[in-house]
A and B are shown apart, each in its own frame.
Chain A
């Protein structure tokens, strides 16, 4: 079965550079969530989209922005990167924004800021 696809899987950037992460949800899933997981930490919710509109916002820095496109894929744009942005970034998808079912996670994109 098709899963959530994230790219790139690994990314190395310098401080103050920009980075873009991409997420392709499971087909027919219209809701996408972004999480950030620092080393040894639990995943922290950043932002979510439903039908191309932002549906919820968590601890996303102002330097970060995200959007969902007409094909439901999403991109997380990170600017003025800091060392503390080094983390594993997960994307998850679900069908519809309501309900209490599980979220389906991608393998994650590991960002290293030097």
Chain B
């Protein structure tokens, strides 16, 4: 079945450090891929998405490229801020009648000044 695997956290960084959170997926066909972010005590917010191979999603300095050859969608940011501290979820949506989002386990990011 479809699944998403994320690197385990927590990830602890200093402000202005480079961030990478790895995400790989298993799916049939051509799913859409997403990164959702959950700030403490809040709901899930879409951070970015990509709907086909080689697409790059970007938002708020975060980027992720849909790599079909490596079935990956790694999240990157060049310079993190304290306000980026949150839990990040990689997710896929199969489409074609299989419409639910399937989430990875989540990666907690803590950024210190």
Contacts and interface: CB of A to CB of B under 8 A. Distances in A.
B89 A48 contact: no
B100 A48 contact: yes
A107 B89 contact: no
A62 interface: no
Contacts, number: 64
Interface class of chain A by DSSP: loop
Contacts of B36: 105
A37 B113 CA distance: 30
A33 B101 contact: yes
Contacts of B49: 101-102
Report the 3 A-B pairs with minimum CB-CB distance, sorted nearest first: A100-B32, A100-B95, A105-B44
B interface bracket (residues with beta carbon within 8 Å of A) = 20 to 34
A43 B44 CA distance: 10
Interface string A37-50: 00001110100100
A interface bracket (residues with beta carbon within 8 Å of B) = 20 to 34
A60 to B, nearest CB: 12
Given A102-B34, A102-B49, A42 B93 contact: no
Interface of A: 31, 33, 41-43, 45, 48, 55-56, 58, 90, 92, 94, 97-108
Given A42-B89, A42-B106, A97 B97 contact: yes
Given A42-B89, A43-B44, A105-B45, A98 B96 contact: yes
Nearest to B95: A100
A97 B99 contact: yes
A99 B95 contact: yes
